[in-house]
Structure 1
Amino acid sequence: MTPLDRFLLSAALALAAASGSARAAPSADNPTVKDPLSGITFVRMAKGCYQMGVPADAFADQDGAFRRRVERTEGPVHEACIDEFWIARHEITEAQWRAVMGPRPGAGADDLPVRGTSWQEAVAFTARLSERAGPGWRYRLPTEAEWEYACRAGSAPVTALPDRGRMDGVAWYSSPYGRASAGKRPRNPQPAGRMSGNAAGLHDMLGNVWEWTLDAYADDAYRRHALFNPRIDSAARGVSRTARGGSIRSDIRWMRCEARTSLDAETRLDTVGFRVVRVPSGGK
């Protein structure tokens, strides 16, 4: 962080304290609002700063390929300051898609997360929702920094690799030690919102389906991030996009808020979905 960044951060913190702005870590009793058109329930995430990413030596005892990938793509740890936003309580479902976009071929049950949608189609959903929303608000995909902030319920620190004790009942994933290890483990995404929520009251942030974010993908994204509302932006066609959260077919090591992967923007997989955020129309 440069001296100017430190000064700006100190000034922002002082201003928030003086104005009484909420900066505490979001909790499960956060305010919510339900969009009348789509039926999406949004949870408020308070403005705040956190340490984004994973320390270089966090998983030193893991195999070399895994450790190198983490070190290359999930660091360095850096401060990210996020303005207030509202994020969908769980992944967008088939019923919510239909309410906004109309029927689509091959749709599953109403409570299943929408799958097989490309990044462009997810962006089109948010654009349509913005067009039909009332004045003052717009909708978009979350940035990587917002997504991780929401997954960690604000500023929860990076701990160890996930294990069965922490993941059972929280995430649908694939592992010999998974939720359904006593019988046949499900291979296909499950109804949204069935697992326990995190400390912010958000469900399925980990597992079930990968979730598109707004950001273009770059291995060195964290070395390029701004302090405030960081985002790797690109309008170029063919640029890969970042997905977060892992899926029901992902190994347990992907069940981490910090894990990130690259997908072609035109990818349509039955393990990839999305959720949306709600921000003031004049905001970022």
Structure 2
Amino acid sequence: MSLIEPERLQIVAEEKSSELSSDSPSKNKKQYAPMLFTPYEIDSKPDAKVFRLMPLAVLIIVAIIGIGGIVLWVDSKNPHKNAKTKINNNLDATTVGTVIKNSIGMELMYIPPGDFIMGSGEDEIKKALIEVNKYQNDAERNRFANETPLRKISIKDGFWMGKYEVTQAQWQALMGDNPSNFKDCGANCPVEQVSWDKAQVFVEKLNAEDDGLEYRLPTEAEWEYAARAGTTTAFSFSDTLNSSQANFDGNYPYDSTKGKYIARTVVVGSYQPNAFGLYDMHGNAWEWCQDVYNPTYQNLPTDGSANLSVGELNLHVLRGGSWYNSGFYCRSAYRFKLTPASRSNNISLRIAARAK
């Protein structure tokens, strides 16, 4: 078995769903009632009948306010109390580095419009072949055709993209379960064991929050544009990769020295972000794209939209590499594909969105 083949993906049994437990009210919650009125003398001899009715009126007012307080308290314990609340701040942003947060705590970065060259050129292919030959991986020598031909992509409108891969906590909050194999990694580790089909369900539930954004998986072109962040190198920071820069199999770096192999996911944001402020675009977990897979870029859209009709319609694209793969698979241009029902402990997702 080759040590760097993507077929090393480990498909494991689906975990049982677990219900999201609700918070219990605090026993020490401070209770108070607002002042109902400021008493003052309006008549030196007030009407006796009116005076007798005042306690009853006060009791009624207190009861109404008390009921309202209970309703507000119950609502405050709802994990989605902010659902249906519009994200009003920064949705019209035009500046790189602008960040917004939605109702489940997901942070999204603004990605500006622009042009870029998608795919691998001759120089990168030659260098990548050298890296492949180090490990005598015959299966990979012919894979570069799917990274060609080079083509100019024009993304005319800015969009939002997840600052991090979707975390286990965010998935749990929305879906009510956690399918991840590495649960002990923690709530802020990427959710994994996610199929393309399940990713679509997650997107549907996000859109049901109706917060002013239209959510989806990123298109393949958007993903590479966001990963490159203005660069033309193999990775967003350079033409080399070692285990101090991303979570992958450090035994197989890319034109660099060998390093640590953690052999699992890590907390999102554990490494430096790219120029767009996105973390873990290289390694940690593969990320689904919206597109169906075509083994070449010929006849595909050049406006950044998803390819939904050309190629192998039973396969969808994944990008970014993972903790399980060599540095070769973590390149900005590398493309992988699986069926929409495929799951693995190194497959996650990242969300894209546009303002409605």
TM-score by length of 1: 0.79
- For 1:237-278, what per-residue CA distance to the aligned partner results, in whole angstroms no more than 9, with x for missing partners? 971100000001111111211111011110110000000011
Q: Percent identity?
A: 29
Equivalent residue number for residue 299 of structure 2: 224
Equivalent residue number for residue 85 of structure 2: none
Equivalent residue number for residue 165 of structure 2: 91
Confirm or deny that 1:51 pairs with 2:117. yes
Q: Distance in 2 between matches of 1:57 and 1:279?
A: 35
Cα 1:57–1:86 shift into 2, 3 Å? same
The answer to whether the 8 A contact 2:300-2:310 is kept is: no
User: 268, 272, 278: which is aligned to 2:343?
Assistant: 268
Equivalent residue number for residue 13 of structure 1: none
User: 187, 199, 222: which is aligned to 1:110?
Assistant: 187
Deviation at 1:170, TM superposition (A): 2.3
Equivalent residue number for residue 75 of structure 1: 148
Deviation at 1:187, TM superposition (A): 0.8
Q: Distance in 2 between matches of 1:151 and 1:60?
A: 21
Residue type of the partner of 2:98? P
Confirm or deny that 1:244 pairs with 2:319. yes
Match of 1:189, SS state, is coil
The answer to whether the 8 A contact 1:193-1:203 is kept is: yes
Match of 1:138, SS state, is strand
Confirm or deny that 1:120 pairs with 2:197. yes
The answer to whether the 8 A contact 2:234-2:333 is kept is: no
Q: Distance in 2 between matches of 1:106 and 1:172?
A: 17
Q: Distance in 2 between matches of 1:215 and 1:143?
A: 6
Q: Distance in 2 between matches of 1:141 and 1:79?
A: 22
Higher RCO (CA 8 Å, separation ≥ 6 residues): 1
Deviation at 1:230, TM superposition (A): 3.3
Q: Distance in 1 between matches of 2:257 and 2:306?
A: 37
Match of 1:214, SS state, is strand
Equivalent residue number for residue 79 of structure 2: none
Q: Distance in 2 between matches of 1:228 and 1:106?
A: 35
Equivalent residue number for residue 221 of structure 2: 145
When the two structures are aligned, how many residues end up with a matched partner?
248
Residue type of the partner of 1:117? V
Q: Which runs of 5+ in 2 are unaligned?
A: 1-92
Cα 1:97–1:237 shift into 2, 3 Å? farther
Deviation at 1:180, TM superposition (A): 11
Q: Distance in 1 between matches of 2:335 and 2:217?
A: 15
Cα 1:67–1:250 shift into 2, 3 Å? same
The answer to whether the 8 A contact 1:213-1:243 is kept is: yes
Residue type of the partner of 1:73? N
TM-score by length of 2: 0.64
Residue type of the partner of 2:208? E
Deviation at 1:227, TM superposition (A): 2.4
Cα 1:235–1:132 shift into 2, 3 Å? farther
User: 34, 42, 55: which is aligned to 2:108?
Assistant: 42
- For 1:45-88, what per-residue CA distance to the aligned partner results, in whole angstroms no more than 9, with x for missing partners? 00111111111453225247544311x10011101111211000
Q: Distance in 1 between matches of 2:292 and 2:239?
A: 27
CA RMSD of aligned residues (A): 2.7
The answer to whether the 8 A contact 2:293-2:312 is kept is: no
Residue type of the partner of 2:344? L
Q: Distance in 2 between matches of 1:254 and 1:98?
A: 29
Q: Distance in 2 between matches of 1:256 and 1:181?
A: 17
Cα 1:273–1:243 shift into 2, 3 Å? same
The answer to whether the 8 A contact 1:93-1:192 is kept is: yes
Confirm or deny that 1:31 pairs with 2:98. yes
Residue type of the partner of 1:59? I
Confirm or deny that 1:254 pairs with 2:329. yes
- For 1:180-212, what per-residue CA distance to the aligned partner results, in whole angstroms no more than 9, with x for missing partners? 9566x2111111111111111110001010000
Match of 1:60, SS state, is helix
Instruction: Look at both structures and tell me which one has the larger radius of gyration over its CA atoms.
Output: 2
The answer to whether the 8 A contact 2:245-2:272 is kept is: yes
Cα 1:120–1:159 shift into 2, 3 Å? closer
